[in-house]
Structure 1
Amino acid sequence: MELDGAGLTCAQVHAVAYEAARVTISSLDRARAAWGVAQGLTGPVYGQSTGVGANKDVGVEEGGLDLLRSHAGGAGPLVAPERARAMLVVRLNQLLAGGSGVDPGVLPVLAEAINDGFTPPIRTYGAIGTGDLTALATTALCLLGEMSWQGPMPPQGATAGQEPKPTDGPAAGEGPTAPVSGPRYPLVSSDALPFISSGAATLADAAIAVHRLRVLLDAAVDVAAFSFVAVSASAEPLAAAVQEARPHPGQAATAARLRGLLSRELAARIQDPYGYRAFAQVHGAALDALGRAESVVETDLNAATENPLFADSLAWHNGNFHSAPVALALDALRAALVPTAQLSVARLATLMEPAYTGRLPFLAARPGGSGALILEYVAQDALAELRHLANPVTAATAVISRGTEDHAGFATQAARYALRCVEPLEIVLACERVAATRGPDVPDRPLTDDLDAARALLSQPFRSCTASGGHPPPTARG
């Protein structure tokens, strides 16, 4: 995968993190140009000739390495090595975009770390959406040899049903990620702030979440088609004439895809419950929110978020590091997942009703049997988790550094929660899929294995960014 500072996608970040995709650098020209500007400037430059934060007016000399040491203090568990690897590729790509003023010689060393499986020991807590200072300062100290890398460890494919939580990760000194020597580069004082002035760890989490949620929302259309078939639901609400009357892009795409999966047979009812009749509208809104989030995240994956920005022979002091656009987009995405999951649970409820399926209650094999009833409990549990994770982070703020830094975007938390949404959404959809495909003669039995198998089908494309995703259901009613 060639990095050029301009074309990195969420899917590519996922491929580097989880599929051992290797990276190459197309050109260091923009990084060299910014470095040349930084080296030629005289006068006060924030973070180089001055302190940072409330110390912005305090002149300093050669204090940058102390800045790295003071900012490398995080807390909580180590993040999974795959997420740390994703952060490295994001920061490398941003530095290639130019503007940072960092020594361009460090960029090939970052590529070496990525390709050889080395990751910095990043702790979970330490950022509020105004730059991932703790994570990147830790990375810089690894490059300097003052902290130990974790690894080498080839990225592992995601295991369905066992997705790593945002705080998952081995403890320092444990297993194959024990501290080791790794790539080194002699960063100097003037490289310190330029290296850490980025939200690369937040963007890495956001990119992984966006990619995985796209896979699940795509698979959700297939799952809904199984339910349409199981209850003989009407495809009339999906008609092109209906969609043209209200042309929201996600709605139209959802309806067109589901139309292609269903037969043209007459429906059993003139109108179905909203879980079927309004599926395109609700699910389409989630797709639109996902598309917006993907666009915002990918903009920042390829942006120079540096403060100061070195360009046009000057140092431009600015607020490009602030994560408000990302936080707002991820808040909207997490909120949009809840209605589409709610409709999945609603369809699950109809699958338990003889009036819709023509079968015994709960899809049982014998009168009085509980059949698939437990799926409703599991789905409602997972839905409750999604509702909790949908709470917006942008309603809060923080004031730190003696009032100098008087607002925070909390995109770090928004990305972390978006990652956590993957598991409960997958579980909700798996419950619907198991019920919609349940045969008429299945005896009462534990459904844990069925759910695990359904989750494996839903999340299979996590392992390949080029996979088509989805598992088309039968097009004939039966």
Structure 2
Amino acid sequence: MQVRLDGHSLTIPELEAIASRAIEITVDPAALALVDERHAGLREARARGAVYGANTGVGANRHEQAGDPDGHALRLLQSHCAGAGPEEDDRTARAVMAVRLNQILAGGSGVSRRVAEALAAALRAGAVPALHRWGAIGTADLSPLAELTLTLAGARPWRSGDAPAVELDATDALPMISSSALTVATSALAVSEVHRHLRASTIIAALSFLALRGNPEAYDPAVHAARAHPHQIAVAETLHTLVTGASPALRLQDPFGLRVVPQVTAPALHAAENLTAAVTAEINAAVENPLVTADGIHHHGQFHTATLASGLDAVRGALLPVMSLSAARLSLLMRPDMTGLRPFLADGPPGSSGLMITEYLVQDLLAEMRGTVQPTASGTLSISLGLEEHASFATQGARSLRTMTQLTPTLLAAELVAAVRALSLAPERLTTGTLRTAYDLATASLSPDLTDRPLDGDLTHAAALLPRLATLL
């Protein structure tokens, strides 16, 4: 399978596939021709007068004419290569390369064709650069992209794999690093996980509903038609369909963990949908400063990622309540008055602890998540001699969302293990259809031993099931 990069149509699922080496890339010849045209335009403008970063300093040095113009590009890259913090994993690094290549193909950077072709060749060869995480604030990932560019030029080694070095043009340096490709790639991979986790969480919530013999009135379409928030009707209809045929309800009204799943899941889906649109726009955007168009050179602030930052903040804020609701259902599954089973779903001698410890685990995870929800777009700064007095901090928002998506699988796994255990102890509560399929998938991976024993294996296997559960919706 192949995906053609043209600067305009790359999707997040395609980017994921490239990052995972599940798909090969080709490059649209028309896009490469546009790269050639815009590179020539940048060189012509540089020959005529001052062009930011091409023959001037950058930041507060913008009015200084570059000394030694031929060596200016290399000095700019070296001076912006801080190389601090942990290295990004291979999947993220490949996603960065693909994002940056696709943005270049959008035709606004002025980067030379040979750099674009070198990026494509490195992706095909499986070469991975060492990209350090720290040094960006949501106005371009200058330091890691300087690392990438120096690696392409042969000035730094590839972390794994190899690719031929490319000779940089004197105008290639700033256009190559004038992008938030690492922030965008991190956001893209994270929001994909969010979508999967939300679908899986809906399946798991429905399994808990069966185990707790919930009241399906809360999911009745007539209820949700009365207040049509985005996605709420769809979530309610999904749950209503999933639990059709469930055991008779035990309660007139259920606790919130069951009753408000549509109301809590809907805003997370809405936020994830909006973030997906924002990330997709960034993947296919020409945002370099200066921007090279058919009309000439434009100096601007298009590199500011305010829309991305606000979208990241919104998703984190909306995802946390979904996870806290999962924790609430886990607590319900521990209670004999709610399940009709033994405390903590124990199945051993009196005094057995069962799944007691899982509540501690999920509360630890929730506490960690709360630290990631602080809005990053509220930050302020003044740098570069006061010239740059605002930033989006989308970079920090993307990292925080990634952290949330790394914690989420274990939290949802705890609820899944508990719901499946309750249903195995009371199999008459199971229904046919999708939830039976989900239950069978889980029981095939989890140990049938319900006596007190280490639970780490079950939690690991349950977390690994989430992508498969997500495909059931």
Same fold (TM over 0.5): yes
Which of 282, 296, 316 lines up with 2:298 in the alignment? Answer: 316
Checking the alignment, whether the CA contact within 8 Å between 2:121 and 2:163 is kept in structure 1 is no
Deviation digits for residues 377-429 of structure 1 (CA, Å, limit 9, x no counterpart)? 11111111111111111121222111111112111111111111112211111
Checking the alignment, whether the CA contact within 8 Å between 1:122 and 1:135 is kept in structure 2 is yes
Match of 2:389 in 1: 406
Match of 2:124 in 1: 115
Mapped partners of 1:147, 1:64: distance in 2: 16
- Larger RCO of the pair (alpha carbons < 8 Å, separation 6+): 1
Match of 1:151 in 2: 160
One-letter amino acid of the counterpart of residue 307, structure 1: N
Match of 1:233 in 2: 214
Mapped partners of 2:43, 2:62: distance in 1: 20
Match of 1:29 in 2: 33
Match of 1:106 in 2: 115
Mapped partners of 1:127, 1:10: distance in 2: 22
Checking the alignment, whether the CA contact within 8 Å between 1:457 and 1:471 is kept in structure 2 is no
Mapped partners of 1:78, 1:72: distance in 2: 13
Deviation digits for residues 153-188 of structure 1 (CA, Å, limit 9, x no counterpart)? xxxxxxxxxxxxxxxxxxxxxxxxxxxx52221112
Match of 1:284 in 2: 266
Match of 2:453 in 1: 445
Mapped partners of 1:22, 1:351: distance in 2: 46
Mapped partners of 1:229, 1:302: distance in 2: 44
Which of 294, 317, 320 lines up with 1:335 in the alignment? Answer: 317
Pairwise CA distance, 1:21: 2.0
Question: Does structure 1 residue 54 correspond to structure 2 residue 60?
Answer: yes
Mapped partners of 2:273, 2:203: distance in 1: 19
Question: Does structure 1 residue 134 correspond to structure 2 residue 143?
Answer: yes
Question: Does structure 1 residue 220 correspond to structure 2 residue 221?
Answer: no
Match of 1:192 in 2: 173
Pairwise CA distance, 1:119: 1.8
| 4+ aligned runs moved over 2 Å, structure 1 | 366-369, 439-442, 468-472
Checking the alignment, whether the CA contact within 8 Å between 1:65 and 1:188 is kept in structure 2 is no
Pairwise CA distance, 1:471: 4.9
Mapped partners of 1:85, 1:212: distance in 2: 17
Mapped partners of 1:300, 1:471: distance in 2: 30
Pairwise CA distance, 1:253: 2.2
Checking the alignment, whether the CA contact within 8 Å between 2:125 and 2:163 is kept in structure 1 is no
Pairwise CA distance, 1:355: 1.7
Checking the alignment, whether the CA contact within 8 Å between 2:100 and 2:179 is kept in structure 1 is yes
Pairwise CA distance, 1:350: 0.8
Checking the alignment, whether the CA contact within 8 Å between 1:74 and 1:123 is kept in structure 2 is yes
| Structure 1 range deviating more: 265-274 or 207-216 | 265-274
Structure 2 counterpart SS, 1:310 = strand
> Where in structure 2 are there 5+ consecutive unaligned residues?
426-448
Question: Does structure 1 residue 261 correspond to structure 2 residue 242?
Answer: yes
Checking the alignment, whether the CA contact within 8 Å between 1:341 and 1:429 is kept in structure 2 is yes
Match of 2:184 in 1: 203
Mapped partners of 1:195, 1:285: distance in 2: 37
Pairwise CA distance, 1:196: 1.0
Match of 1:172 in 2: none
Pairwise CA distance, 1:313: 2.7
> Where in structure 1 are there 5+ consecutive unaligned residues?
153-180, 461-467, 473-478
Question: Does structure 1 residue 183 correspond to structure 2 residue 164?
Answer: yes
Match of 2:465 in 1: 457
Pairwise CA distance, 1:281: 0.5
| Structure 1 range deviating more: 86-95 or 254-263 | 254-263
Q: Could you say which structure has the higher helix fraction?
A: 2
The Cα RMSD (Å) is 1.6
Structure 2 counterpart SS, 1:13 = helix
Structure 2 counterpart SS, 1:73 = coil
Mapped partners of 1:245, 1:35: distance in 2: 56
Mapped partners of 1:260, 1:184: distance in 2: 57
Which of 332, 336, 339 lines up with 1:350 in the alignment? Answer: 332
Match of 1:177 in 2: none
Mapped partners of 2:295, 2:130: distance in 1: 36
Mapped partners of 1:183, 1:273: distance in 2: 61
